[in-house]
Amino acid sequence: MLVIDIKKQLGDLLLDVKLSLPSSGISAIFGRSGAGKSSLANVISGLTSPEEGRVTLNNRVLFDSESKVSMPPEKRNIGYVFQDARLFPHYKVEGNLLYGCGGKRTSHFNDVVKLLDIESLLTRYPHSLSGGEKQRVAIGRAILSEPALLIMDEPLASLDLPRKHEVMPYLERLAKEIKIPILYVSHSLDEILRLADNMVLLNQGSVSLSGDITSVWSSPLMRPWLNASEHSALLEGTISELHSDHPMTKVTLNNSQQGIWVKSPCDCVEEGKKIRLRIRANDVSLIKQQPQHSSIRNILPVVIEDLSEDKENDVVAVKLNLSGHVLWANITLWARDELQLGIGQSWFAQIKGVSVTQSDLCSK
C-alpha cells in the first residue's frame, strides 16, 4: 500500500495530500492543469521533497520529515514513465530495454517485449520510432526494472490522436496482465474510464475524493467536472447471457441479480467476462408503473436517494438506487414538480439502448 501524508508549497499552491492507495491495480490521479498531479508524482518518486510529512510504500519509509529520512529516487524501486519517452538516443531499443533489467536478457524480458509488441523494434534507434513506439519502449524499460510501483505521468499527452489509439490497447493489456501497481496521472477522463480501478480527484492541491472508480465517478462531486451531456454512472458486472436471436448481451451487475441488456460490444463476448458500463443521465427517464409494451429493453426498479436542483439549466439531477448501485437521471424542474418526486419513492428507470453502446463499454 502507498500511504501519503505530505505538505509542499508550490508557488501560490499548497500541495496538502493525505491519501492511501492499494498495492494492486491502476489508481488514477485526476485533476485540472495546475492541480498538483505531476508534483505529487514527483514527491512519491523522490524527484522532489515535501517540506513536511511522510511517504511509505509497502511499509517501507521513503520520506519522513520528522526522522529526516529522504530516500533518493534510485533507491525507491519506483518506475517512472514521463510524457516524453526519454530514451537513450545512442542505444538501440534493445539496449534501452536491457538498461531497465541490468543488462541481462531473461524470460521476463521476452514476456515484456511480447506484451508490448516491440520485438520488431529491437534493432532500431529511438530517432526512427514514432511517438507511440517510443512510449511503448519507455513503458517496457520501466516494467523491466521490476518496480514496486509504476508511475505513469500523462503518458499519452504528447501523442496525437492516432498514436493515442495505438498505445491505449497496450495499456489495457498491462492493466490486466502485470502485477505491478500503477499510479496513472492524467487530465483525460476517457483514459481514466478505460484503465483505472481506483480514482483520486485532486483539486487545488488537495484530495477532494478518492476510492474505487465506480463510487468516485458516481459521486455528486464529479458532476462539476463533466459536461452536462457526460453526467453518468459507472456500473460493473459480468456477462451472464447472450441473446440467441439478436446481437444483445445481458450484464448482471456485481453483488446483484439485476441484469442490463446491451448491444454486444464485439463478436468475441463470452459469458463470465467482467465488463464496465457507462450510462448517461440524459438517457435515463422515470416512470411510475412498468409499461406492458415498450421498445425500451431496460426498465428497472429504482428508489430515489437524492434530488439536486440546477435552476439555471432547468435540470434536476436525480440520484437513484439500482439494487445497491448508483444511477443518475436528468429531468426538468417541470417533470419533478408534476410527478411530485421525493426521496424514498420507488420508480422505474427507463434506460435507452443507445446509452450502453460499444463506446460506453470498457472491458475489464
CA atoms within a 13 Å half-sphere pointing along the CA-CB vector of 257: 1
Residue 151 sits in the same domain as residue 90: yes
Residue 278 sits in the same domain as residue 299: yes
Model pLDDT, residue 85 = 87
Flag whether 225 is in a domain: no
Residue 187 sits in the same domain as residue 274: no
Residue 206 sits in the same domain as residue 256: no
The single residue listed with the C-alpha cell 524470460 is 107
Q: What are phi and psi of 75, to 5 degrees?
A: -100, -5
Structure confidence at residue 355 as a pLDDT band (50, 70, 90): very low
Task: Give burial (CB, 10 Å; 0-12/13-18/19+) of 344.
Answer: exposed
Give me the long-range contacts of 67-71 (CB less than 8 A, separation at least 24). 70/46, 71/46
Residue 77 sits in the same domain as residue 113: yes
What would the grid cell of residue 268 be? 468475441
Residue 24 sits in the same domain as residue 135: yes
Residue 34 sits in the same domain as residue 111: yes
Give per-residue pLDDT as tens, 6-56.
999 999 999 999 999 998 899 999 998 889 999 999 999 999 999 999 999
Count of structural domains within the chain? 2
Residue 247 sits in the same domain as residue 213: no
Domain that holds residue 212: 2-217
β-bridge mates for residue 310, sequence order: 315
Structure confidence at residue 159 as a pLDDT band (50, 70, 90): confident
Flag whether 15 is in a domain: yes
Flag whether 363 is in a domain: no
- Average pLDDT, integer, range 92-110: 85
| End-of-domain residue from the set 192, 217, 242 | 217
Flag whether 362 is in a domain: no
Residue 67 sits in the same domain as residue 43: yes
- Average pLDDT, integer, range 76-89: 92
Cβ 104 vs Cβ 179: under 8 Å = no
- For the question of whether the overall pTM of this predicted structure is more than 0.95, the answer is no
User: Would you say residue 359 has pLDDT above 60?
Assistant: no
Pairwise CA distance, residues 122 & 127, whole Å? 13
Pairwise CA distance, residues 22 & 53, whole Å? 20
Residue 59 sits in the same domain as residue 134: yes
